[in-house]
A = this chain, B = another copy of it.
Amino acid sequence: MDIATIIGLVMGTGLLLWAIMGKADLSAFADGGSVAIVLGGAASAVLVAFPLKNVLGMMKVLKKTLLTKSQDPNALIADMVKYAEVARRDGILALENVTGDITDPFLVSGIQMAVDGTDPDLIENIMMSDLDAVEARHADGKSIMESIGRYAPAFGMIGTLVGLVIMLGNMEDPSSIGPAMAVALLTTMYGAVVANLVALPLADKLAIRSREEVFIKMIIIKAVMAIQSGDNPRIVEQKLKTFLPVGMRGSDDESARAA
């Protein structure tokens, strides 16, 4: 789970509750109809804008991206070097015994193709095309989040306009004007909170998580290609480590450089 996301959401919500409850009753800010217009309106616009499949896929992307811990590239490279050693020592078919321990299906499918003796170009093509599909799914998730961030405030404004038009048509009782306008403004406020505390920041986080995952998958592709071609484990390590900036390289680094 991404800890910063939870801290941010809890802290932002807490702040707003604290700001409201210090000066007024929370019930003045709770209005089911206003919530329905903002969330329902944004959901309607998103359904018009995206295929059902993508909207449902977004939930999965969101869940997976936020609940999964990001992988450590150094540990991954260490594993890859281990597989390269197995392949070198016992032949590439020996890797089949290893794949049972791996949980990442992307890596399993890559090693399986190498074990099956699939043509290297075809392996790379297939893995790159899978990677492209992952990126496209993430980009769709980001687009949908950004759309919520755009449509929630828009329907907030529409809700406020509806409230104002109703209020302006019923001004016989002056004492009702204030509260009516207060309710009208609630949708604008809900729209702003949904967009700025939830949807837009989550869109950014999805993008960053996607970048990390693509980075990891690029290392896996390079590793599978190197293992398949029977590279010396040291060379495999060296090749993969050039992906990492100095600060992220492990302790074997100096020797790798001098190799």
Contact = CB atoms under 8 A, between A and B. Distances in A.
Contacts of A257: 113, 116, 118, 122, 126
A99 interface: no
B165 A50 contact: no
A161 B188 contact: yes
A189 B161 contact: yes
Interface in A153-186: 154-155, 157-159, 161-162, 164-166, 168-171, 175, 178-179, 181-182, 185-186
Given A9-B48, A48-B201, 9 more contacts: A3-B52, A4-B50, A19-B36, A29-B165, A46-B201, A126-B257, A168-B178, A169-B182, A171-B178
Interface of A: 2-5, 7-9, 11-12, 15-16, 18-20, 22-24, 28-29, 33, 36-37, 40-41, 43-52, 54-55, 70, 109, 113, 116-118, 122, 125-126, 129-130, 132-134, 143, 147, 150-151, 154-155, 157-159, 161-162, 164-166, 168-171, 175, 178-179, 181-182, 185-186, 188-189, 192-193, 195-198, 200-202, 204-205, 208, 238, 242-248, 257-258
